[in-house]
Amino acid sequence: MSKKLVLALGLGLFGLAGCTQGINPTDMDRGIIGAGVGATAAHVGGHDVAKGAAIGAVAGALCDDVRLCQ
């Protein structure tokens, strides 16, 4: 992955953590939001959108497990 894509995904995850505060999202909700962020970041970076969406979905669904989304 390029540095631009990693940076965009990282910033997207911080945005994901901020936009779900106070609504008690499930893993599915975070996964859907993460997929959108990943797809957008991949498109902006000129990479495979499906791959970016998959990475974002996994990161979004698992972000509460590493206490990023709490």
Domain chopping of the chain, boundaries: 3-66
What DSSP line would sit under 15-27, residue for residue? HHHHHTTTS---H
Residue 1 has pLDDT above 60, yes or no: no
Confidence of residue 40 (pLDDT cuts 50, 70, 90): confident
Residue 18 has pLDDT above 60, yes or no: no
| 39-59 mean pLDDT | 87
Q: Which of 29, 46, 49 is nearest to 38 (CA)?
A: 49
Residue 39 has pLDDT above 70, yes or no: yes
Confidence of residue 17 (pLDDT cuts 50, 70, 90): low
**pTM score over 0.75:** no
